[in-house]
Structure 1
């Protein structure tokens, strides 16, 4: 029996099936621009991690209120929104990386499009105003409390890094949106049925229906009024 292990080329995106010494080549669809998708996903993960850490640090400083320092209410609300967006993009970017590593394609197109849209809309409507309010903080307004003034200077730097990272995340997702659409159209993955896996098991419901004959109904006692 001839062996094809030494003569059959090994390709990452091709499978070979042997039947009666005949080789049948089955080509698997490969998403175009997979490298672009991978690079953009990695950028989203890194920038989201930076925004997450710096926004969390600022919120922790505000909660601790060192030397009586606190964020203005409007700025605090916007930082919390940016922190929530960083959590969203951080989680989904890592889920996409795991999916690309496992199946060579990201998560479902519609889920990623929703995340892209939410990220861009919320960041564009939140980050610029938050940056303006942060830079308008004046350490001199906390004098003669030098501790609060130093905290203000630190918060301005930390919050600036976090908010700028959030803006860059939105820019990455803004670029990624048309890339996802183009990749999906070229690969035809939008036509393939999407399946959701659930843990195995059985759930049974047993029921019975009994039909009574008219004779049995007639023989049944009838209450007299």
Structure 2
């Protein structure tokens, strides 16, 4: 029987080397002996846009939160007017939502090379686009229409008013950019789903499997043994 030479190919079930963090096309470290898997369309664009959405969302969250905190403290009597305040709260909530969803998408992409369920992502995309488009531009216009001179002659109030206008402007612009990113993500997800046919595959929720065991024992004593135990306890007590 012929001996196996050193040039014998690896077995088909050998473990392949990981090509990269997301296993994307173009990574050159993939083992040449394994058959390249077909990548879903739009994966790279989805990953890039998801990272951009997460970064912009955290910027919008921090600057909006700073403006809300200053408005709540109201130093020198400064406060954010009601019309701007309600729109700011909406943009603040959208930034929280998009950051959470983008973070979950990135975590699942790293773990299973797939984003969250298509329906969830499309709903979040639509909500982010609708609310930022309907609230963001008006809030930005109201913010920059504020006049710090209204707080004269209090120089401290004027300085705080100028700072809040800048901080809130950065937060609102970041929120509008988040809506723009999700406006691009919506058709990208739809196109990727149609090309890959994943919309035809039923998506299931997986529950981690495990085992939960409870052991217990019941000991029955005979009548004679029970009487002996009672007599022994009585003798000890006397």
TM-score, structure 2 normalization: 0.74
> Which shifted more, 167-176 or 190-199?
190-199
Q: 2:175 aligns with which of 166, 171, 178?
A: 166
Task: Return closer, same or farther for 1:29/1:108 CA change in 2, 3 Å cut-off.
Answer: farther
| Equivalent residue pairs, number | 192
Quick check: 1:120 aligned with 2:129?
A: yes
**CA–CA distance in 1 between the matches of 2:180 and 2:113?**
24
Contact 1:31–1:105, Cα closer than 8 Å, also in 2:
no
1:5 aligns to 2:14 (yes or no): no
Aligned to 2:132, the other structure's residue is in SS state helix
User: C-alpha distance in 2, partners of 1:103/1:187?
Assistant: 16
Indicate conservation of the 8 Å contact 2:42/2:189, yes or no.
no
Query: Secondary structure of the equivalent of 1:31?
Result: coil
Of 114, 125, 137 in structure 2, the residue corresponding to residue 105 of structure 1 is: 114
Question: Which residue of structure 2 lines up, in the alignment, with residue 179 of structure 1?
Answer: 188
CA distance in 2, matches of 1:4, 1:184: 36
What stretches of structure 2 of length at least 5 have no aligned partner? 24-33, 212-238
Residue 190 to residue 29, structure 1, CA distance change in 2 (3 Å):
farther
Answer yes or no: is the 8 Å Cα contact 2:41–2:195 preserved in 1.
Answer: yes
Q: CA deviation at 1:136?
A: 1.1
Structure 1 unaligned spans of 5+: 14-24, 203-225
| Cα offsets for 1:31-52 (capped at 9, x unmatched) | 1121111100011001111100
For residue 102 of structure 2, what is the aligned residue in structure 1?
Answer: 93
Aligned partner (choices 40, 44, 58) of residue 35 of structure 1: 44
Conserved 8 A contact 2:40-2:192:
yes
Distance 1:153 1:9 in 2: 60
Aligned ranges 1:199-214 → 2 under 5 Å: 200=209
Does 1:194 find its partner at 2:203? yes
Q: Distance in 2 between matches of 1:118 and 1:6?
A: 49
Residue by residue over 1:69-107, the C-alpha shift from the partner in whole angstroms, topping out at 9 and shown as x without a partner, is 100001011100000000000000011111111111111
**What does the per-residue CA deviation read over 1:142-186, in whole Å, with 9 as the maximum and x for residues that have no partner?**
011111111110011011101011111111111111100111111
State which structure, 1 or 2, has the greater radius of gyration over its C-alpha atoms: 2
Shift, 1:109, TM fit: 0.7
CA drift of 1:198 comes to: 3.1
Question: 2:132, 2:176 within 8 Å by CA — same for their partners in 1?
Answer: yes
TM-score (norm 1): 0.78
**Going by fraction, where is strand more abundant, 1 or 2?**
1
